[in-house]
Structure 1
Amino acid sequence: MVYIAHLRSGNHDIQTVREHLLEVKQLAESFGEKLGVKHLAGLAGLLHDMGKYTDAFKNYLVEAVNNPDNPPKKGSVDHSTAGGKFLYEEFHHSGLYPAILAEVVGNAILSHHSYLQDFINPDLESNYLKRVRDKELDEFSMVKERFYKDVMNQESFKAYVGLALDELETFLNRDSPCKMEVKLMLLTKYIFSALIDADRTNTRLFEEGNNVDVSTENTPFEDYYAKLLKQLQLYDQSPLAHHPINQLRVKMSEQCDKFAEKPSGIYTLSIPTGGGKTLASLRYALKHANLHNKKHIIYVVPYTTIIEQNAEIIRGIIKDDENLLEHHSNVTLEEERYDSAIDTGTIEQKLRLAKDNWDQPIIMTTMVQFLNVFYAKGSRNIRRLHNLSEAVIIFDEVQKVPVNCVSLFNDALNFLKFYGNSSMLLCTATQPALDYVEKRLAINEHPEIIENLDEVIDAFKRVEVIDEATNQTIKNDQLVQRIKQQMESVSSLLVILNTKAVVKDLFSKLEEKELNASIFHLSTSMCASHRKEMLKEITRLLQEKKRVICVSTQLIEAGVDVSFDCVIRSLAGLDSIAQAAGRCNRHGEAELRQVYVIDHGSEELSKLKEISYGKQLSKRILLDLKRDCTAYGGHLLSTQAMNKYFKEFYDHFESQLDYFVPKAKQNMTDLLSASNSSYHQAYVQRHKKQLGLCIRNSYGTAAKYFKVIDDVATPVIVPYGEGRDIIAELNGQFSIQQLSKLLRKAQQYTVNVFAHEKEELSKQGGLVSYLDGKVLVLKESAYNETYGVDVKNESKLEFQMF
């Protein structure tokens, strides 16, 4: 009898269970091999759909095909428990390593249509044991018999598990600063990632009628490196090549090239703002990837504006758009579970199988997305994790790691360094003290690429920071007059404030004045394409020496290559002030320009605790300098001032570095820890017995509560430029491949709206849902040509395309 894993939509061709298991095993092995756990990952692939060897599942499929308008209830036949239960019964009582193998691989199998199970949950029960120990499965003995007969005989299977056990022992005994519970947690997530991607990819290829995924091995870094060197040679021939600033940039770029020969590790690149960090880091990454056989180069940035600008620079050099992925956010909403067998041909299946696994050679994404890969719920996020191994990962403006995620961030990077064979480059002009905190980052010895850093910083000094913050507070009406006064002596001015509300209000007030200047507004309420057009126009006007005023949130501070005559910065953390200074006299056009630091009295920072405390710290340092002009080496942005700032900053937030979860009354690091003692102690007290498991993590609970930012944001596609065409296409019919391309393109036209904004938009009728409610879209009237998202749904779209 033939047992079926999948039926192709349309012609109802079948993929047998045997074919699916062996093909997923092979693909999972290739993902696991990068971590030295080929057979552990392969074992998950081999057993994940073992439960489809039942007559009940076969009847379930037949009924779904015969009654498409009234199919059986999803999940009414459990096929994902069998593989995990099989491992538990066969190996859990056979010693320490077999027990750990059963838990690590078994949890991945149980969870491949949802998310990893809790070994112990807040209700002091084990979701894992309920499935593998307590749940009775019909036909289970026949399932094992059919598996041994059809897929792999007992002797071969036992030998395969033996190889997996050898890998597990080697992995767990490898020397590293990662604690055992962190090793087990991240190993489990890695196996889960390999399984999810292998399963989704194989199912997609079957649905599309393909045998091979041709894009997975494409790593043309040698070619890209040659193109970059050719471009750098052209820069050397430009009229400005001999300017002292450009000579320094060349020197630092060459240092990055030489440093790329060093072994994999965690290093720092502290190029001052405006020092050519994007191309220098790319030079390091391309050479290092080529020399050390890395599969991906991944840029991780704090703001999507950096993605937009860096992507444009890199795309212009490599001339290969297909191999560069800009991943701003997830366009579609995450579903808790789906059934790849019964959902065949549906929009749910297409969305699940759409290629979204970060397998392109160059990926540009945000810190939010990077942390979500490791810690957020949903199979879409974790599917990408295995592609972070054998990679060069460049963290641009690494000082922006959210305080409550510092320990989790450090755990992830240490894992990638010691187990994932990845190299990490921490890029910023203001290095945070990530190796100062309790759960420290294992930065390599002598990590800094730039030689004689203090001298380089002095050579790059192009601005003086003027303290107006310790004298008085200022509000927008006064700030308008201050801007008007400043524009009498300069032709371009950038104002950076801490909240979108005050930025929008100031812009409105400036528009009412006769200032004889082009006035621009920038914020994250605008989609990437909209901001890109705005920045392009701002850059053009600045180059033509036209009069320009730009009012922005902090998104313009990092990685945006613009140069204003003057900057006014609302008081914030020292790193933010340094980044703001980098938008002034960026290329040394004048000998010295001014950056004014003000204290804005109308900013509501009660929910922005990091900005609020950073502001207090900076004010203290400003007061120290006011009392003693030689303090901190005599200037606000010195390395001495920055070191003091970050150490006091992390000391203040010490209790929050481990991500406390109020509803669980636990730190996230404890929920993810195998020594999760408080739940286990309570379990023993209640049940009068031990849990009986090696691992006591609460994976599902931890993921449920993990949010990089406090307010949950929802992606919406906006009707700006090509966004209108994308929205129109969402009504059509398309293959999985076409949908993958469409969703990738849609990221440029997506804005994340917070819960209160989404509620207001819904109330005002500004939101429409597409693709069975999985994609949200703004109406034309809910997107404004100047501000972006208009929650009042009152905008008239008359876009000025620059």
Structure 2
Amino acid sequence: MGYIAHIRESDGAIQTVQTHLEEVSKLSERFGGKIGVKHLAGLAGLLHDLGKNSEAFKDYIQEAVANPNHPPQRGSVDHSTAGGKLIYQQFHAGARSALEQLTAEWISMCILSHHGGLRDFISPDLSSPYLERVKQKEIPEFEHAVATFFQQQMGPAELESYFNQAVREAETIIKYRQQHKLKPITFSFIQKYIFSCLIDADRTNTRTFEENEEQAERSLDSAAFFRECYTALMETIVSFREGKDSEHLIHRLRSEMSDQCEQFASKPSGIYTLSIPTGGGKTLASLRYALKHAIEYGKDRIIYIVPYTTIIEQNAEQIRKILKNDLNIIEHHSNVIEEHEDGSGHEAYDLKKKKLKLAKDNWESPIIFTTMVQFLNVFYSRGTRNVRRLHNLANSVLIFDEVQSVPVKCISLFNEALNFLSSFGRSSIVLCTATQPALDYVDNKLKIPTNSEMVQDLKRVSESFKRVNIVDKTTTEGYNASEIKKFILTEMEKVDSLLVILNTKTAVRKLYEELNDKAERKQHSYKLFHLSTSMCPAHRKKVLENVKRQLETDGQRVICISTQLIEAGVDISFQCVIRSLAGLDSIAQAAGRCNRHGKDEIRNVYVIKSSDEELSKLKEIRIGAEKTARILEEFARRPEVFGNDLLSPEAMKKYFEYYYHDIEGELDYWIPNIRQNAFDLLDLNKDYSSGLQRKSGMNVRLVSKQSFATVEKYFQVIDQPTTSVLVPYNDEAKEIIADLNGELDSGQLTSLLRRAQQYVINLYTHELKQLDQAQNIDVLLHGNVYALKEVAYTDEMGLDLKGEGVWSPEII
């Protein structure tokens, strides 16, 4: 029978170690081949479970299956070190060249890390967790496991030959990096890419066996799919050109820019900018580019990445309707399940936890919508769930919608990740926004080529799109909720629809409560709506549908109070907008929700200060507001310097110069706990490297220096960590919550978790604790998923921390 890799739960069938290693290696090779690391990834796959060739693991797995409610102690058998140790002994120790050592380090690090995330080559205490595992740790039955491998899989000479092919790949990578002047952090991305290939191949093969599929699902013919999508998109675009408003200036400009995007698609893969003004139709224009480019250059997928504070389901739904395809377009808002790995590197053969790992969320669909948080997590977050997706970012078209929203501390990490995907990954990257953030202005620059802008004559286009005046009201002392209400009601004497955007959920809630007086609503005849991230995506979508319906109904008067989530990616238009002071890019985005289609004369966008906002913990918003205030002052004195327009490219460029100058020391992701930058720890890591050499007396032979695990430990896109919680918004959400309390196979779990993303909110630690203390949190799926009780969620406001909510009739 041979040694056991897995035992299927449903029928007790066995997958041997030999079969598992062969199949994972082939899949790893396929994933790695996309960027020229076929043998590096394939060898990691071939050796990752070498340690299962042992009597100890056979006993361990048989006991785990026989006693599912009381599995053996986690870590009682270490099977992930053996393969890494073999590579180290065969190809690193002794008089091997630095190139061979580097190759061995890349492969062996992936192998020994495949049950917990990449380890540190050098850690903050100036030790080497990597060397401790591959050089010093004693592995019972190690020689026996190796002998079994050589007997069943391949002999020593064949392994040497395979390794030499991996060495040649590493040599090519080094030369390419030098030729293209990429930074050493590129090697970190290569390492993570190989790791991604291994993790996804391992999980995919295990799931295929567990679900008793004869073979892995056939991959979709992306080229044929994209051709079908392009045809459907062009039918829609033609219908727009034949519509009743087709001769309006705005529509003509949208059509012109869309045509330019298609023409640009013939250019080779690279990093490009699409600076269509707000309301210029960039979603469909960028899709037109992406589909045409994907067809011409054989790209595997199109991925839209939008701000973590915005709504992604609207764009996804719009594109689904146009392309007439639900199955192959997915949204990935959050992981739903939080990953908890102890970092020991040992496999916990707990069947319940195993299903969570096998649930398929590896971004293999041809069109994906996700958030900036999820994108950055792929490269820098801890564990294995996120990095599993990395290889699917290669040979793709990546559309970054509202790219100015990259968190300041992540800018250097973001830039270098994109440089890697563009160079080694052969992906095309589009930075799509009306307010380009000058990512080539910072030290660790984004490698944007000359003539990278898709839209011609931007100045003329911007002037033609002018639909609003920015009115500075910040000279007045801060408005409280009552004063903003008076201002709103005064403006509502002139208009029928008004949007207020404030910086905090607390300020939004206060203003909503001020305006939500039945008598006053009747007197002034307005419908009132609220939007914030306290609502799950499905809830926000429903509210937006109601708002749009009211805006399109003659005689209806609408006031909407929202956090900044409405600023990006939401196709909606009000006659007046009031925006609390923030970054100039945010004000420009807010202005894009006013007179969006240019059907009215110039409308007003008022900038105010809100005294109800506490921004001490929202540093980026606070600094952005300060720099905008400076621009407002300069504009009042010399408007001609800014082209007599506060939203001109000149004003935006000056704003970002001020902004980046003020925070230039924070762009490399500073980690206060260890007084190091994450960027440095993944680049040359000079401090830890020299420290280790001094400590060890210069006796450490280690080419790689990265502190992967340390960066992953501290990395979080949002300063305050949040936890995903399911909410009982409607019948489908309640059904999902109920189903997650039952017994599920990995296929059912995959489907449920995908559906569940529409019903998730993210809670800060203090919010989760408060709800838990009030007994308003349920725990599902054996402790891996949180769900909110109905009393803690309302139709008006979403999350109700007091847990006193009563489900009111749907607002219309």
- TM-score tier (shorter): over 0.9
- 1:232 alignment partner, one of 231, 237, 247: 237
Kindly provide the amino acid, as one letter, of the partner of residue 152 in structure 2: D
Q: Tell me, yes or no, if structure 1 residue 732 matches structure 2 residue 778.
A: no
Q: Equivalent residue for 2:550?
A: 541
Residues 1:776 and 2:786 are matched in the alignment: yes
Task: Give SS of 1:378's match.
Answer: coil
Q: Where does the alignment leave 5 or more consecutive residues of structure 2 unmatched?
A: none
Corresponding residue for 1:757? 767
Match of 2:50 in 1: 50
Aligned to 1:631: 641
Partners of 2:742 and 2:318 in 1: CA distance = 34
Q: Note the alpha carbon deviations across 1:516-565, whole angstroms, 9 max, x for none.
A: 10001100010000000000010111111410000001000011011000
Following the alignment from structure 1 to structure 2, what is the Cα–Cα distance between the partners of residues 16 and 380?
25
| CA-CA distance at 1:218 after TM superposition | 3.8
8 Å Cα contact 2:82-2:139 kept in structure 1: yes
694-703 or 469-478, larger mean C-alpha shift: 469-478
Amino acid across the alignment from 2:124: P
Alignment deviations for residues 750-785 of structure 1 (CA, whole Å, 9 cap, x no partner): 001111111111111111100111000000011111
The one-character-per-residue Cα deviations of 1:138-166 (angstroms, maximum 9, x if unpaired) are 22122111101101122222221111111
The reply to whether residue 115 of structure 1 matches residue 117 of structure 2 is: yes
TM-score (ref. length: structure 1): 0.98
2:198 aligns to what? 195
**Displacement, 1:305?**
4.1
Alignment-mate amino acid for residue 128 of structure 1: Y
2:538 counterpart SS class: helix
Other-structure match for 2:568: 558
Who is 2:715 aligned against? Answer: 706
Match of 1:587 in 2: 597
Give, in whole Å, the separation in 2 of the partners of 1:574 and 1:215: 48
Task: Check whether the contact 2:61–2:349 (CA below 8 A) recurs between aligned residues.
Answer: no
Q: Which SS does the other structure have where 2:717 is aligned?
A: coil
Q: The residue matched to 2:154 in structure 1 has which SS?
A: coil
* TM-fit CA distance, 1:273: 0.3
The answer to which of 699-708 and 172-181 deviates more is: 172-181
Shift of 1:688: 2.4
Code of the residue aligned with 2:191 in structure 1: it is: T
Per-residue Cα deviation, 1:625-661 (whole angstroms, up to 9, x for no partner): 2122323111111111100011111111110000000
Q: Structure 1 residue 419 and structure 2 residue 424: aligned?
A: yes
Could you tell me which amino acid in structure 1 is paired with residue 35 of structure 2?
L
Instruction: For residue 35 of structure 1, give the secondary structure of its aligned residue in structure 2.
Output: coil
SS of the residue corresponding to residue 413 of structure 2 reads helix
- The equivalent position to 1:695 in structure 2, one of 704, 711, 726, is 704
- SS of alignment partner, residue 297 of structure 1: strand
Question: 2:796 pairs with 782, 786, 789, which one?
Answer: 786
Residue identity opposite 1:752 in structure 2 = N
Contact residue 298 and residue 364 of structure 1 kept, 8 A: yes
- The answer to whether the 8 Å contact 2:48/2:114 transfers is yes
Q: Distance in 1 between matches of 2:294 and 2:630?
A: 43
Contact 1:340/1:349, CA 8 A, preserved across alignment: no
Match of 1:72 in 2: 72
What are the residue-to-residue correspondences of 1:220-619 with 2, within 5 Å? 220-303=225-308, 305-336=310-341, 343=349, 346-512=351-517, 513-514=520-521, 515-545=524-554, 546-619=556-629
1:179 shift after superposition: 4.2
Matches of 2:583 and 2:218, distance apart in 1: 43
29-38 or 301-310: bigger deviation: 301-310
Q: One-letter code of the match for 1:281?
A: S
Which of 719, 733, 749 is the aligned partner of 2:728? 719
Give the one of 183, 186, 189 matched to 2:186: 183
Q: Which whole-Å deviations, capped at 9, do the CAs of 1:305-329 have from their partners, x for residues lacking one? A: 4311100111001111110110001
Secondary structure of 1:772's partner?
helix
Residues 178, 554 of structure 1: alpha-carbon distance in 2 compared, 3 angstrom cutoff: farther
Find the aligned partners of 2:781 and 2:207 in 1 and give their Cα distance: 18
Which residue in the other structure is 1:154 paired with? 156
**Residue identity matched to 2:449:** N
Residue 215 of structure 1: how far off its partner (Å):
5.2
The 1:408–1:348 alpha-carbon spacing in structure 2 relative to 1, beyond 3 Å, is same
AA matched with 1:724: K
> What CA distance in whole angstroms lies between the structure 1 residues aligned with 2:180 and 2:463?
36
1:726 deviation in Å? 0.8
1:651 counterpart letter in structure 2: H
Q: Which of the numbers 189, 204, 209 marks the counterpart of 2:207?
A: 204
- 1:90 aligns to what? 90
Structure 1 window deviating more from structure 2 (171-180 vs 119-128): it is 171-180
Change (3 A) 1:788 1:178: farther
Q: RMSD of the alignment, in Å?
A: 1.5
Q: Separation in 2 of the partners of 1:77 and 1:95?
A: 33
How high is the TM-score relative to the length of structure 2?
A: 0.97
Q: Which moved more, 1:59-68 or 1:510-519?
A: 59-68
Equivalences, count:
800
State the shift of 1:799 in Å. Answer: 4.6
Is 1:177–1:414's contact at 8 Å kept on the other side of the alignment? no
- Which whole-Å CA distance do the structure 1 matches of 2:717 and 2:288 have between them? 30
Equivalent position amino acid for 1:138 in 2: P
Q: Which residue of 2 is the match for residue 169 of structure 1?
A: 171
Q: CA separation in 1, counterparts of 2:44 and 2:588?
A: 48
Percentage of identical aligned residues: 52
One-letter amino acid matched to 2:72 = P
Cα distance, 1:713 vs. partner? Answer: 0.6
Q: Shift in Å at residue 419 of structure 1?
A: 0.1
